[in-house]
Amino acid sequence: MNRENTPPSPVASARNLDDYWMPFTANRQFKARPRLVESAEGLYYRSVDGRQILDGCSGLWCCNAGHGRREISEAVARQIRELDYAPSFQMGHPLPFELAERLAAIAPPGLNKLFFTNSGSESADTALKIALAYQRAIGQGTRTRLIGRELGYHGVGFGGLSVGGMGGNRKAFSANLLPGVDHLPHTLDIARNAFSRGLPEFGVEKADELERLVALHGAENIAAVIVEPMSGSAGVVLPPLGYLQRLREITRKHGILLIFDEVITGFGRIGEAFAAQRWGVTPDILTSAKGLTNGAVPMGAVFVHQDIFDAFMQGPDGIELFHGYTYSGHPLACAAALAALDIYQGEGLFQRAIELEDYWCDALLGLRDLPHVVDIRCVGLVGAVQLAADPAGAGLRGYRVFEQCFHDGAMLRCTGDTLALAPPLIIDKAEIDRLLEIFAGAVRKVA
């Protein structure tokens, strides 16, 4: 893809970019025209060629408190001097216990048992394994089937990939995904819901598809349903009004566990600590990562309901769950998470998305007359602008806008022809204007 107004980057010749196989990246395109950042402070990255780039997606939906937070870097630096590593199998150190107590205090009701991982993918796989092992532990061993949803994203492990519903991610592995998985339909319905403010009005009945799957497979064979309360990676797909409540009613009625994947929605993105609280629906298990440490150190956390935990604490006194990671509860990750929580709570950032929501939605919906816009979705401090595909190919227009934005000083995400925005929660109204101005300019330029 050659574009005249994207200057050749000086770094391409100055550095060897050959040996790093980049994740979820068009490696050849990137290496021909790299986008490299070398430092960050507040709302801004600085590129290697010295430009300020407004961070419109909190890194990768991670840095909710903005960049360069000294409280976090100092806590991590102190911690590595004090205790660099300690095993978490049949051993312990104080920090994960302290962090678990802090997280339990902000969790939705009852979700007060914490299992630590290193990523969102590991959190998803952990949640699925806990669900399966729980059903067995309570004598419901036939409940082995897992239900995900189309357009869902639960990371890249075989578990998360199997319940996930983004076709492109699955296609190279389709014969090797977990057996016994089915999917609910997604809730994106532009024909009925285009340009909704907040949760869309139409589509609650899509939750009833779960009754159809229950009739098809038998409730006694289904262990759990996993959904993102709001799908982020697929391009900000929101739950219709009443949809999550309906899923909760149906799962409860049939003894099926409900898992919310809040890897993106957790830690203030929608307002409140979790979307579960903002939207008033409590799952049985909730997964998180990303914002947990403000993105500073890899870490995930799985919130598990007390009743589920209790079911494992019966029987012979030995290892109750044969699962865990070398770095579960890593001291540096715990130190970063504790410092991030102090910032979130000290600065009231879990309320920030609610305070700014009206302004944010007004500003985003104000872009509807830009060329090629077919839908705009917004809630909390997250949003997406969906463009019509270029006749030359799906995703080309979205990618061009993304590239143009970076060139013009703003970083956002593109998924196909949808541009997603989720700025750090410390953003103010003037910076929202600036972000959307750069974005609007980029859409016009590539139109």
Ligand X SMILES: Cc1ncc(COP(=O)(O)O)c(C=O)c1O
- Closest separation between CB of residue 232 and ligand X, Å? 5
In DSSP terms, 181 is beta-bridged to 146
Q: Least distance from C-beta 82 to ligand X, angstroms?
A: 26
Cβ proximity to ligand X: between 156 and 432 the closer is: 156
Nearer to ligand X, 64 or 233 (CB): 233
Give the nearest distance from C-beta 300 to ligand X in angstroms. Answer: 7
Choose between 409 and 416: whose C-beta lies nearer to ligand X. Answer: 416
First to last CA, the chain: 15
Nearer of residues 79 and 119 to ligand X, judged by Cβ: 119
| Residue with smaller CB distance to ligand X, 119 or 251 | 119
Shortest distance, position 242 Cβ to ligand X, whole Å: 22
Q: Residue 442 CB, nearest distance to ligand X (Å)?
A: 23
- CA angle, 168 as apex, 217 and 324 as ends, to 5°? 65
Interface with ligand X (CB under 6 A) = 119-121, 124, 153-155, 228, 232-233, 261, 263-264, 289
Residue 289 CB, nearest approach to ligand X (Å): 5
Is the Cβ of residue 228 or residue 284 nearer to ligand X in the bound state?
A: 228
Please say which residue, 120 or 423, places its beta carbon nearer to ligand X. Answer: 120
Residue labelled with tokens 């809730």 = 187
Task: Judge whether 288 and 267 are in contact, CB under 8 Å.
Answer: yes
- Return d(Cα 306, Cα 301) in angstroms, integer: 15
Give the shortest CB-35-to-ligand X separation in angstroms.
19
| Contact (CB, 8 A) for 373 and 367 | yes
Smaller CB separation from ligand X, 119 or 404: 119
Is residue 391 within 8 Å of residue 318, measured between CB atoms? Answer: no
**164: Cβ–Cβ under 8 A, 6 or more apart, which residues?**
148, 152, 153, 154, 155, 170
Which residue's beta carbon is nearest to the bound ligand X?
120
The nearer residue to ligand X, 79 or 233, going by C-beta atoms, is 233
Nearest distance from C-beta of residue 145 to ligand X, angstroms: 20
Least distance (Å) from ligand X to the CB of residue 165?
12
